[in-house]
Amino acid sequence: MAATQVLKSEWTKIRSVSSTVWTLSLAAVVTIALGLLISVLSNNEWDNMSSRDRLTFDPTFISFAGMTLGQLAMIVFGVLVVGNEYSTGMIRTSLSAVPQRGTFLFSKVTVAAALALAVGMVTSFITFFVGQAALGTHRTSIGDPGVLRAVIGGGLYMTLIAVFSMGVAAMLRSPMLSLGILMPFFFLISNILGAVSATKKVGRYLPDQAGSRILRVVTPLDDTPYGPWGGLGIMVLWVAAALAGGYALLKRRDA
């Protein structure tokens, strides 16, 4: 089967499964709504902030506060895109139609990543403008130094989270197992490692902590040895490793 036909087939699969569409919608709604709420609360708390908090106040990053939960929906989307093939038994049919396993996997990832990127970018820009409106006089502008980079980075970050999840799902072949590992990892373990002084230096190299650096405009008062693009680069390496692992295991194992 030609590569273009495989891409069309994967697009048909994704848009015909309502769960994948709903998870992308949920990612957008949660990110925008929570970002708006945190922006409103931050604006109301300005007078009570310490001088240190005001010094490091980052209006752009505040508006992206909802991505902490929104990324969980992107994880679900990434897992379902790959994992549904195994849970429904469609993987045998798919590999019979497309025996070139690399073509099959990367066509699926390409289509899903393009969809995640489109949703992620729209979500990121809406989240930013809604959040800045809620911040009132403490807002920033899209034309200020570093802001456009952070907003575009928000869309890239959400996309990479989804693609990383696809790679993990390809390795584990089970949606439940994949979600059972990824959800606690991103929602609990990563935050704990990043908050404890003994493990903070390790935690900063995890995909979400490194990648989320791209969302910041104001540099935090810490000793992180990389900047926004360096952090995103670390996240890209994690994603590449997950996809390479998924491809290697798909190539070796039976369907």
Is residue 98 predicted with pLDDT exceeding 70? yes
Please tell me which residue, 92 or 129, carries the higher pLDDT value.
Answer: 129
Q: If you search the block for the tokens 């849970």, which residue do you land on?
A: 87
What is the per-residue pLDDT across 147-195, written as a single tens digit (0 to 9) for each?
A: 999 999 999 999 999 999 999 999 998 899 999 999 999 988 898 888 8
Kindly report, residue by residue over 197-232, the tens digit of the pLDDT: 888 888 999 999 999 999 999 988 788 899 999 999
Percent of the chain with pLDDT over 90: 62
Q: Whose CA is closest to 36, among 74, 71, 67? A: 67
Q: CA-CA distance, 110 to 113, in Å (whole number)?
A: 5
The domain limits of the chain are: 3-11+19-43+50-252
Tokens found for residue 150: 């952070």
pLDDT above 90 for 96: no
Spatial separation of the C-alpha atoms in residues 19 and 108, rounded to whole Å: 16
Residue 36 to residues 61, 67, 137, 175, 231, Cα–Cα distance (Å): 12, 11, 15, 31, 25
What's the token pair of residue 223? 């000793």
Is the full-model pTM beyond 0.75? yes
pLDDT category at 254 given cuts 50, 70, 90 is low
Kindly give the interhelix angle for 147-172 and 175-184, rounded to the nearest 10 degrees.
140
Confidence band (pLDDT; 50, 70, 90) for 1?
low
- The predicted-structure confidence for 102-145, as pLDDT tens digits, reads as follows 888 899 999 999 999 999 999 999 999 999 999 999 999 999 99
Summarised one tens digit per residue, pLDDT across range 12-63 is 888 877 888 899 999 999 999 999 999 999 999 888 888 888 888 999 999 9
**pLDDT single digits (tens) 50-69:** 888 888 899 999 999 999 89
